[in-house]
């Protein structure tokens, strides 16, 4: 009978470091990479692995991390004194009470780790029936990581930290990636046996290997296929390096899947973004969040898109900003348009330069070509919004809605003082201030009479 695989019961993410080299007042794991905090990468990876518990070990001043993750199903342990990585794990042990199976230990400052690599590490542990499995990496010129020491049979016998390594040991190319998958019961027992016998006088989690060797337990390892995914972030230089690595990887994927990115080194696309074939993206574009872009779109230079849905054959012209909005097929946006959250743009619609929308629904075929603000508005089909039109939606206390029905013509420099409704087919004369509802097919003019003396 085949032995059942040991389930992954918990994931511990270590994020209690002081971020000294970042020279920052906030936690380093809250610094952004491609539009989202660094810590969201490790938490997102943990969520995909679906353990029973995700535990974050934070420092005593970790309230900012708690706040950032307030919508996530995670638990927190606090390391009050920075006594090393093994001590950080010890702080999480009470939250493992009642759990059996395996626990995975990650670092919050490793945003490049991939799901396939971690799945293979877990699979290695199960396949070899080992009590402890390590993720390792090989670098031509290793960074300041702990070196993997092996015996003549190739078995792991120790990890020596870079600060404690001899000159000869520093020549070893295989390094510890800081990711461990191990039995919960072994972890609980081993943590209590680790002592601060090193130059830093800290409790090293790497010493768990010494415990396993002393107890003659099987240790397995999985070599990361790309060593770059194991790098950590301890400085702003490393932050930028990680961003560049991730950006290049994402852009290469889209180039190989039918999307033209004219200058990949000058385009930033988040991991969760989806883009349709034959879309063309010009330089200096940033696409973040859960954005979805359809086929045959044109995204011109300087555009920023966040958490938005873009239909097929949409053109977004230079320096436009799209936030939490939806644009349907065939529409043209910009240049220098700003779609704020809650905006929905219909098919074949034109939203031109210096037009700002906020919580506005714009119907099919409608045109607002320039210099307009439409906030808290519902605009029908085939409406013409003249230059300089404003919906006056805020009275100083409350926001009100403007409704413009189909086929309305709004003349230039019009103020629509909400709440107000303009009926189907109505005309608004230029320069008008409209404070009352306008009936369908009526002409409304609300301006002072011209006087010539």
**Catalytic residue of the set 67, 80, 338, 370:** 370
Cβ proximity of 378 and 357 under 8 Å: no
* 81 given a catalytic annotation: no
Q: With helix as H, strand as E and coil as C, how does the chain read? A: CCCCCCCEEEEEEEECCCCHHHCCCCCHHHCEECCEECHHHHHHHHHHHCCCEEEEEEECCCHHHHHHCCCCCCEEEEECCCCCHHHHHHHHHHHHCCCCCEEEEEECCCCCCCHHHHHHHHHHHHHHCCCEEEEEEECCCCCCCCEEEECCCCCEEEEECHHHCCCCHHHCCEEEEEEEEEEHHHHHHHHCCCCCCCCCCCCCHHHHHHHHHHCCCCEEEEECCCHHHHCCCCCHHHHHHHHHHHHHHHHHHHHCCCCEECCHHHEEECCCCEECCCCEECCCEEEECCCEECCCCEECCCCEEECCEECCCCEECCCCEEECCEECCCCEECCCCEECCCCEECCCCEEEEEEEEECCEECCCCEEEEEEEEECEEECCCCEECCCCEEECECCCCECCEEECCCCEECCCCEEECCEEECCCCEECCCCEECCCECCCCEECCCCCCCCC
Would you name the residues annotated as active-site residues?
A: 370
């Amino acid at each position: 009978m085949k032995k059942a695989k040991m389930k992954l019961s918990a994931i511990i993410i270590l994020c209690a470091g002081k971020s000294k080299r970042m020279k920052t007042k906030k936690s380093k794991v809250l610094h952004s990479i491609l539009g989202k905090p660094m810590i969201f990468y490790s938490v997102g990876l943990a969520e995909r692995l679906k353990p029973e518990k995700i535990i974050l070990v934070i420092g005593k001043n970790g309230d900012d991390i708690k706040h950032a993750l307030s919508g996530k199903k995670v638990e927190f342990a606090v390391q009050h004194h920075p006594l090393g990585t093994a001590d950080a794990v010890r702080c999480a042990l009470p939250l493992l009470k009642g759990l059996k199976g395996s626990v995975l230990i990650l670092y919050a400052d490793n945003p490049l780790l991939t799901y396939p690599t971690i799945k293979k590490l877990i699979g290695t542990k199960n396949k070899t029936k080992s009590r402890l499995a390590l993720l390792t990496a090989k670098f031509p010129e290793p960074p300041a990581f702990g070196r993997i020491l092996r015996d003549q049979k190739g078995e792991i016998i120790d990890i020596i930290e870079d600060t404690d390594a001899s000159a000869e040991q520093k020549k070893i190319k295989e390094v510890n990636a800081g990711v461990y998958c191990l039995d919960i019961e072994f972890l609980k027992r081993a943590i209590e046996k680790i002592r601060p016998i090193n130059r830093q006088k800290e409790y090293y989690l790497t010493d768990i290997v010494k415990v396993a060797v002393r107890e003659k337990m099987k240790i397995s390892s999985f070599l990361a296929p790309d060593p770059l995914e194991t790098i950590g972030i301890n400085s702003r230089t490393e932050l930028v390096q990680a961003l560049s690595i991730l950006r290049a990887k994402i852009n290469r994927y889209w180039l190989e899947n039918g999307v033209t990115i004219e200058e990949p080194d000058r385009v930033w696309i988040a991991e969760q973004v989806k883009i349709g074939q034959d879309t063309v993206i010009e330089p200096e574009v940033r696409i973040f969040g859960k954005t979805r872009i359809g086929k045959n779109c044109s995204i011109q230079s300087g555009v920023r898109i966040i958490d938005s849905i873009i239909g097929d054959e949409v053109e977004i012209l230079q320096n436009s900003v799209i936030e939490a909005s939806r644009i349907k097929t065939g529409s043209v946006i910009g240049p220098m348009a700003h779609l704020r959250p809650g905006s929905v743009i219909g098919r074949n619609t034109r939203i031109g330069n210096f037009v700002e929308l906020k919580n506005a629904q714009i119907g099919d075929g409608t045109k607002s070509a320039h210099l307009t603000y439409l906030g808290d508005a519902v605009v029908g089909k085939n409406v013409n919004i003249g230059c300089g039109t404003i919906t006056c939606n805020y009275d100083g206390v409350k926001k009100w809605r403007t409704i413009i029905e189909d086929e309305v013509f709004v003349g230039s420099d019009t103020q629509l003082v909400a709440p107000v409704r303009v009926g189907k087919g109505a005309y608004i004369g230029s320069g008008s201030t409209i404070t009352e509802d306008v009936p369908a097919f009526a002409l409304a003019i609300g301006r002072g009479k011209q006087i010539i003396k």
